[in-house]
Amino acid sequence: MLEGIAQDLSALADLRVAGFVILGSLIGLVAGVLPGLGNVQAMAVALPFTFGMDRLTALYFLCAIASSSTYGGSVPAILLNIPGTPANAATTIEGYPMARRGEANRALAISATSSALGGLVGIAVLIAAIPVVRLLTLAFGPPETFMLVLLGLVTIAYAVQRNIVRGLVTAGIGMLISLIGYSEVTGVYRFSFGSPQYLWDGIRDVPFLVGVFGLSETIRYGLRGGVVASAGAITRAGFRGTLQGVVDVFRYPVTFVRSCVVGAIVGIAPGIGGSVSNVVAYAMTAKISRDSRIGRGSVEGLIAAESANNATIGGDAVPTLAFGIPGSAAMAVLLGALTLHGVAVGPWLMKEHMEIVWVVVFGLIAGTVFSSLVGFLVARWLARLTSVPMGVLVPVIVVLILAGAFAVRQNFWDMLVSIASGALGYFLTRYGFSLLPLIIGFLLGAPAELAFVQSLHISQGSLLIFLVHPLSLVLFLGAVAVGLYPLLQRRPAGGAVR
């Protein structure tokens, strides 16, 4: 199991390879900061340029990109209430209120520290889980996957919205939007509204997400005016606020460890990723925390969100390296890189190419630590962005959002989707609906449908398949318990519901 470590560390010590690691970390950091981009797009653009590199250098370069963008995405999430990547969705809930209080540098330091330590914990899980991961990964069939999505939706609908009916309605809207276009399950076109081509492929993730989170908040910026936080408050916080952010992470060890465990477990389940772990870990903390500031700039809530999404990166690599099943979209690009450089992916990878496994491990560590270190060092200056007047900031944000929506596929219709989803997000938030259930419903709608139909095919149409599988039954009972919890909370001692 330890073969190849010396070779990989020797390669990393080479100045040329180390330079590519630093370059990859900076690329990932910038891709995370720019709304609409992320590690997937950055890795996809960089992949062709690795063709002339040797195998180890190319993998170090791509892994550094993969692991650095999540922290980068926390920067606009905290400063502008716009998650740079889907994995920073819950970060906005606590990070942005802190920025408005003049504590942006403290929030950025919390994110940098949580990201670095959470990423290291996730990678440690990857190393420890390699010998036993086969049984855990193979336990998730279609019934278990569907019930996991159901449990996640119900939990998020209640924990975030605090009204399970409104939360589930919002999640349902997101799921309906995700079902637009050609269905690979039924083979028919749905909700295309007579569109000749564009909607056949469905609503793409990037333009929808940057519209819902980015443009909706930008509309609010434009109507409100002013600044996010006063320059005086930021100056008063100074470097002491940055150091305070580092100390804050160590004040909540239980929250940090719990969120890292959630992130690693979610990462191991193929195809889910940091966009879910970020929200699930935050929802758990919001449910059990005694912090009165939860939802209004809580340090504990921010630690939970930012440690979980980075711990997911190590978990994502587990099924990727063990079975050739990508744990996330970024890991799918990494599998493409392995194939491009002549490495056969699948269960035999760990038998024949342990040096590849350790390159991924060391590359993820290097990217995580370097990007977080850079973020910590520049937190004071990044925080000053919150004192820029909205009249200057709003046009720049709109241009970046629309450019990010257009850049992925060079399609002008994607820009229109961003505008429409931005309007939808604005009206939902204006009337008291949380955007997180909408986003989670949108991201998990198609996987949930596929898992549900596959389960019915396996059982020949019987719904009992969700109850006869032990893990599926446990997840189902968990969803029922979460759904009934609000009703039980409202029942007084006399037995009548208020």
The end-to-end CA distance of the chain, in Å, is: 60
Residue 323 pLDDT exceeds 60: yes
Q: Does the residue 410 lie in any domain?
A: yes
Reported as a pLDDT band with limits 50, 70 and 90, residue 498 is very low
Is a pLDDT exceeding 80 seen at residue 15?
yes
Residue 447 belongs to a domain: yes
Q: pLDDT tens digits, residue range 347-373?
A: 556 666 677 778 888 888 888 888 878
Output the pLDDT for position 49: 76
Residue 495 is predicted with a pLDDT of: 46
Range in 347-356, 397-406, 413-422 with the lowest mean pLDDT: 347-356
Grade residue 232 by pLDDT with cuts at 50, 70 and 90: very low
Residue 254, pLDDT above cutoff 80 = yes
Q: Which amino acid is at 76?
A: P
Q: Among 126-140, 236-250, 303-317, which is the least confidently predicted range?
A: 126-140
Identify the band that residue 229 occupies on the pLDDT scale cut at 50, 70 and 90.
very low
**Average pLDDT over every residue of 196-209:** 73
Higher pLDDT, 378 or 172: 172
pLDDT-based confidence at residue 158 (cuts at 50, 70, 90): low
Which residues constitute the domain of residue 300?
5-488
Predicted local confidence at residue 236, as pLDDT: 46
**CB neighbour list of residue 128: distance below 8 Å, 6 or more residues apart:** none
Residue 496 lies in a domain: no
Most confident of 95-109, 155-169, 234-248: 95-109
| CA dist., res. 246 & res. 192, Å (int) | 49
pLDDT tier, 490 (very low <50, low <70, confident <90, very high otherwise): low
Under 8 Å between Cβ of 317 and 332: no
Q: How many folded domains does the chain comprise?
A: 1
Average pLDDT (478-491) is 72
Residue 268 pLDDT greater than 80, yes or no: no
Dihedral-angle region of residue 269 (phi above 0 means left; psi in -120 to 50 means alpha; beta otherwise): beta
pLDDT at 83: 74
Closest Cα partner for 282 from 313, 261, 306, 265? 306
Is residue 226 scored above 60 in pLDDT?
A: no
> In this structure, is residue 418 part of a structural domain?
yes
* pLDDT, the chain, mean: 75
Say which residues have a Cβ less than 8 Å from residue 312's Cβ, sequence separation at least 6. 87, 122, 263, 264, 266, 267, 273, 274, 277, 278, 328
Is residue 498, in this structure, part of any structural domain at all?
no
Give yes or no for residue 237 having a pLDDT over 60. Answer: no
* % residues pLDDT > 90 (the chain): 0
The whole-number pLDDT of residue 425 equals 85
Task: For residues 150-158, give the mean pLDDT.
Answer: 73
Which pLDDT tens digit goes with each residue over 274-287? Answer: 667 777 788 888 87
User: What are residue 181's DSSP bridge partners?
Assistant: 190
pLDDT, mean of residues 192-198: 67
* 3-state DSSP percent of the chain in helix, strand and coil, to 5: 75, 0, 20
Instruction: Please give the pLDDT value at position 497.
Output: 38
For the cut 60, the answer to whether the pLDDT of residue 234 exceeds it is no
pLDDT at 104 over 70: yes
- Residue 57 corresponds to which amino acid? T
CA dist., res. 43 & res. 31, Å (int): 10
Q: Is residue 495 part of a domain?
A: no
In the predicted model, is pLDDT for residue 230 greater than 60? no
| Mean pLDDT for the stretch of residues 103-130 | 82
pLDDT exceeds cutoff 70 at 38:
no
Residue 493 in any domain: the answer is: no
pLDDT confidence of 35, banded at 50, 70, 90? Answer: low
**How far is C-alpha 491 from the geometric centre of its chain's CA atoms?**
36
Which string of DSSP letters, residue by residue, matches 38-77?
A: -HHHHHHHHGGGGTTS-HHHHHHHHHHHHHHHHHHHHHHH
pLDDT for the residue numbered 494:
46
**What is the phi/psi pair of residue 493, to 5°?**
-60, -35
Residue 459 lies in a domain: yes
Rg (alpha carbons) of the chain, rounded to whole number:
22
